[in-house]
Amino acid sequence: MLYNEPDFVGVKSQLKLACEARGFCAIFFPKFHCELNFIEQCWGYSKRIYHKLPMSSKEVDLKRNVLQSLDLVPLLAICRFSTRSLRFMDAYIKGLDGKQAAWASKKYHGHQTLPETIMRDLTDAGLVSNIH
């Protein structure tokens, strides 16, 4: 609640200020929205690989397994995760809710963005009662 107060809303975080001072643009995704952050999807892929590797309690083995599991995430998968995230962002920009965005992302999985006819398509699919 504190972060929604007017005197907090306009204040930049120390991390954002440090990034901007070095010429970087810091973009923060909403918490708990892993579909918007393809890095989270890459981590999930890597974790699945990691759990298939032999268990060990030795630090050297753990480090090797982590690096190996990160290296085994294919570039094609990273690109697909990125495209999927872009589709979800586009869906939310177009006013879709979570259920509609998931449906649209699955239906238009070969597209980077959703078509302008998305609201009509949702109506035809019974996911929306009227077109806005």
pTM, full prediction: 0.60
DSSP string, 90-105: HHHHTT--HHHHHHHH
One pLDDT digit (tens) per residue for the chain, 132 residues: 666 677 766 778 888 899 999 998 877 766 656 677 888 899 999 999 999 999 999 999 999 999 999 999 999 999 988 888 888 888 888 888 888 888 888 887 766 677 777 777 787 877 776 544
